[in-house]
Amino acid sequence: MGEALRVAVTGGNRGVGRAVAAEAARRGHRVVIVARRPDAGAAAAREVGAELVVGDLSSVRAVRELAGGLADVDVLVHNAGLWPSRRELNEDGFEQAFFTNHLAPFLLNRLLEDRLRRVVQVSAALYVTGKVDPDRTPTGEDFHLVNTYAGTKLANLMMVPLFAERWKDAGVTIDAVHPGVLRTDLGSRPGVRGLVLRTMKWALKPVRMSGPPVADLITAEGTGRYFQVRKEKPLKPKALDGPLAARLWADAEKVLDVP
* For residues 14-34, average pLDDT: 96
Three-state SS at 35? strand
- Kindly list the structural domains of the chain, giving each domain's residue range(s) and its CATH number in brackets, ordered by start: 6-256 (3.40.50.720)
> Catalytic: which of 98, 99, 149, 167?
149
CA distances from 217 to 69, 183, 238, 253 (A): 24, 22, 24, 27
Active site residue 149: yes
Half-sphere exposure at residue 136, Cβ-oriented, CA atoms within 13 angstroms? 10
pLDDT band with cut points at 50, 70 and 90 for residue 203: very low
Span 64-92, pLDDT tens digits: 999 999 989 999 999 999 999 999 999 99
